[in-house]
Amino acid sequence: MRASQQQHKERMQEDRGGTSYDQQSSKIWKGVWSLQMKHKLKHFIWRCLHHSLPVNEQISRRIGKGSPMCRSCGEEVKTIKHMLFFCNTAETTWKLAPIQWDGLKDMRSNFVRWWEGILGAKKREQGQEHIALTVNILWQIWKTRNRKAFDEKDADPRKSVQKVVVEWNEYIEAQKGIDGEFIQQTTSSNRSEEWKPPSRG
């Protein structure tokens, strides 16, 4: 096993408090890929769980250059969990968000455990929708960080939440009618329509 893979395995075990890596890992990945959302969002969560987002702490540790401190608040090292939960911008975004996970607040210092808690809501009524909406919030926080880092644009949490709602509504609209019944009706109607030559004149 390569060194990077071994380090990832050790970090995942540490994040879960020493539970079986293979069993828990398989469960988490299946949970991610089975979600009903855009593939870019699944990949984003996958990278969060792998600790592979290029935040300041990761960049500084890997290449030995740059400050690991958060540019937005300047108070703490910018880890993935700091960026997504504890930075001032992130905290304000979550306060304004249309969904709250109050029962999981104590788990935010451990992203893997927090995510396992989120997946626990999958079987609840509208659980899939709530999880997908949560991922959209995380995604907007990440995009806000990138605008700050690369374009030096100050973040406005209200705009981030607005974008969450807009993108979520667009996705819901796109999914309407893509259930099995609709597809079956469309297919059957297409089968009954055969090409016929036009009538004379």
Domain contains 11: no
Q: Give the tens place of pLDDT for each residue, 42-68.
A: 999 999 998 888 888 888 888 877 788
Domain contains 2: no
**Spatial CA neighbour of 119 closest among 198, 47, 197, 26:** 26
CA distance 11 to 48: 12
CA distance 201 to 198: 9
Q: Give the tens place of pLDDT for each residue, 156-194.
A: 888 888 888 888 778 777 766 555 443 333 333 333 345
Domain contains 88: yes
Domain contains 19: no
Full DSSP string of 126-152: THHHHHHHHHHHHHHHHHHHHIIIII-
In the chain, how many domains are there? Answer: 1
Q: Where is average pLDDT lowest: 15-19, 50-54, 117-121, 195-199?
A: 15-19
CA distance 156 to 166: 16
Domain contains 36: yes
Domain contains 182: no
Domain contains 199: no
pLDDT tier at 23, thresholds 50, 70, 90: low
Percent of the chain with pLDDT over 90: 26
User: Given this model, what pLDDT does residue 48 score?
Assistant: 92
Domain that holds residue 84: 26-177
Contacts of 175 (CB under 8 A, 6+ apart): 36
Domain contains 12: no
